[in-house]
Chain A
Amino acid sequence: MDFTLKARGVIDGIAEGEALVCPESIQGWAGVSDTTGKIIERGHSQEGQCIDGRILVLPCSKGSNGWSCHFHSAMRAGFKPAGWLFTKIDSRAGVAAVIIGVPAIADFEEADPCEVIKTGDWLKIDGATGIVEVTRKNG
């Protein structure tokens, strides 16, 4: 483990997985495919990546009040993140966190996880304590 971050635990539980960092967030409509769990937002930095089993690292939600329902639909089809980190919670992200139910941490004040965590880093997150353990992909 290389470093830790601490913020507000939002949904209890422990999750581990590879970070998928989206500093531009993911749009609520035509952002995640309902049937494949892949990011379909045209021109997105992680276009084509599947959210399944990843720890999604997002600054916030964006675009469309349908944000939660497409993550929800993808979960029903068998694809869901292992956990979430939100730099700061917002209403759309809050609804998605409740519905998906996987461990979630939000409201980071000391460092922005979208800046200090890189896609591919291995994360262990504890939604009860709000602690994120980060292991760098490359040493």
Chain B
Amino acid sequence: MVKLTDYEQRMLNGEFGEFKQIALQRIYDYAKVLGAEELCEVKKATLYLGAHPYLETAGSDDYDTIFSKMYLCSDKTIPLGEMADCCCCQTCVAPCDQYQWEPLHLSKEFFDRNRKYLELTRDAGVSITGSCTPYLVGWIPLKGEHFVTTESSNGLMCNSVFGACGNSDGIEAAAWSAICGRTPKWGLHVPENRYGTVIFNIECPAETAVDWDVIGYTIGLKLPPHGVPVLQGNFPYPDIVRLKQFFAALATTSGAEMCHIVGFTPEAPDLKTALGGKEPKAVITITGEDYRQSFDMLCDKSEKPINIVTLGCPHYTLEEIRKAALYIKGKTFAPGIDFAIWTDYATREMANQNGYLEIVEKAGGQILTSGCPLVIGPKCFEHAVGFASDGAKQAHYIRSELPAGTPVYYGDMFKCIDAAVRGSWKEV
């Protein structure tokens, strides 16, 4: 039985319009499925909006119809209303760059459609941000704040590092929450569910962003279902760049939504506190051999031509762009290479002001915004003869999207840049 406040009951009765009524009805149904007893107020949301390819099965170009079918899960078309007053809403990634379509092999018509959809939801209260790392552009839920997000790595960052409270829900439920301002008080919204349950002793390399990417991938592979990892070991504490790689990879190979690092993350000042005083369900060691096995899953063992190089999964910080630009300076990418650094458009503008954009463009590359090849879909990578990325998440998922046998390579930004200059991958 889900207990509603008077305000929530009035919303469910339709007092605030059909748009909010159906959103709260879905949240109510969701709460029942989970076994939640009440709802909590959501203060921040990132939403997966724009003309995403999966929406095409709605079979319509009318956005009210698409939104009703695919977000509200209603065959009756309900005009777009407004997001909840209590909730700060912005967009997650989009299926097109904020400014360009040609480098992505997309049409102007598609660009315009995506833009139109984003402007419609902006008018409903969702600012256009186009970021999978919203914490880099000021969307930061703090300790105890309830949030929803459509980006799994962002959920891990907000729960684990900021101490905010959110579940991974999904695309539709994040929209329901943003509209009605409520989510089931369940899972990580409840303090006792936030404790660690599985200890991971880290005995593999844990220095670079690639190391943390591979550690996240490996932990995800070994994490028992519903486990909350607790990391310990003799490693330097990771910075935000390492953490964004770590969380993106961890959320790729597992369903993890929260992760503690002993002595570092706020709910893990020591191991006992991280575990809530309970015995761990398992203790797992990540060795150098585990690391190598994961790396081999991510990077093909061959040296073949590549024509797509993607940096920035998750989106690059300004500092990562600076590092890449300094390395690119004076180099020229091989003919026919799609080389792109992905970030949000605010960070791209900072890269522009600092001259990094000019360096990348002079070499024949792009700094693109708001998405990545995976989000944009097959049109931007169907011509791939070989694909290289410095993101484990990108390298993992793209394998399922490319024709079997298309080489996929994974390595740090320098290795990827060298491959783009050469036009082929080299092991060393």
| Chain A interfacial positions (CB closer than 8 Å to B) | 8, 10-11, 25, 27-31, 34-35, 40-42, 59-70, 72-74, 76-77, 87-92, 94-99, 104, 107
**Interface size grouping (class) on chain B:** 35 or more
Residues of B within 8 A of A (CB): 26, 29-30, 33-35, 48, 53-59, 69-70, 73, 149-152, 155, 167-174, 186-187, 220, 225-226, 251-255, 257, 374, 397-401, 404
Instruction: Name the B residues within 8 Å of A99 (CB-CB).
Output: 73, 172
Kindly state the separation between the CA atoms of A27 and B254 in the bound complex, as whole angstroms.
8
Return the contact of A59 from the options B54, B55, B225, B404 (Cβ within 8 A).
B225
Taken together as a complex, chains A and B put the C-alpha atoms of A31 and B186 apart, in Å, by 26
Are B170 and A40 in contact (CB-based, < 8 A)? Answer: no
Least CB distance from A33 to B in Å reads 9
Inter-chain contacts of A98 with B (CB < 8 A): 26, 29-30, 33, 73, 173
B57, B255, B257: the one within 8 Å of A77 (CB): B57
Once the chains are docked, how many angstroms separate the CA of A10 from the CA of B34? 8
Contacts of A29 in B (CB 8 A): 374, 397
A11: chain B residues within 8 A (beta carbon) = 33
Q: B34, B69, B170, B257: which contacts A66 (Cβ < 8 A)?
A: B170
Q: Which chain A positions have C-beta within 8 A of B155?
A: 65
Contacts of B398 in A (CB 8 A): 30
A131 CB, min distance to chain B CBs, angstroms: 18
Identify 13 new A-B residue pairs, CB closer than 8 A, beyond the known A66-B54, A72-B73, A95-B172. A29-B374, A30-B397, A30-B401, A41-B400, A59-B225, A65-B169, A65-B174, A70-B54, A73-B57, A89-B33, A92-B170, A94-B169, A99-B172
Q: Is B255 a contact of A60 with CB atoms below 8 Å?
A: yes
12 A-B pairs, CB-CB below 8 angstroms?
A25-B225, A62-B254, A63-B251, A65-B171, A66-B54, A68-B170, A69-B48, A70-B54, A73-B54, A73-B55, A76-B70, A92-B168
Flag if A30 contacts B400 (CB, 8 Å).
yes
A89 touches which of B35, B170, B374, B404 (Cβ 8 Å): B35
* Assembly CA distance A28 to B220 (angstroms): 14
Contact among A40, A42, A61, A66 for B255, CB-based, below 8 A: A61
- Which residues from chain B contact A69 at a C-beta distance below 8 Å? 48, 54, 70, 170-172
CA distance A19 to B58 in the complex (A): 28
What are the residues of chain A within 8 A of B172 when measuring CB–CB? 68-69, 72, 95, 99
In-complex Cβ contact of B170 among A25, A41, A59, A67 (8 A): A67
A61 CA to B225 CA, complexed, in Å: 8
Closest Cβ–Cβ distance, residue B254 to chain A (whole Å): 6
User: Which residues of chain A are within 8 angstroms of B399 by Cβ–Cβ distance?
Assistant: 42
Which residues of B sit under 8 angstroms from A91, Cβ to Cβ?
Answer: 34, 167-170, 173, 186-187, 257
For the complex formed, measure the closest distance between the CB of B34 and the CB atoms of chain A, giving whole angstroms.
Answer: 5
Asked if A95 contacts B173 (CB within 8 A), the reply is: yes
What residues on A are CB-neighbors of B33 within 8 Å? 10-11, 89, 94, 97-98, 104
Q: Which residues of A contact B186 (CB under 8 A)?
A: 91
- On whether the beta carbons of B48 and A66 are closer than 8 Å, the reply is yes
Q: Which residue of A lies closest to B189 (CB)?
A: A91
Query: A68 and B171: CB pair below 8 A?
Result: yes
Known: A40-B400, A65-B155, A89-B33. A60 touches B170 (CB 8 A): no
Residue of B with least CB distance to A74: B57
Q: B255 touching A62 by the CB < 8 A rule?
A: yes
B170 touches A96 (CB 8 A): yes
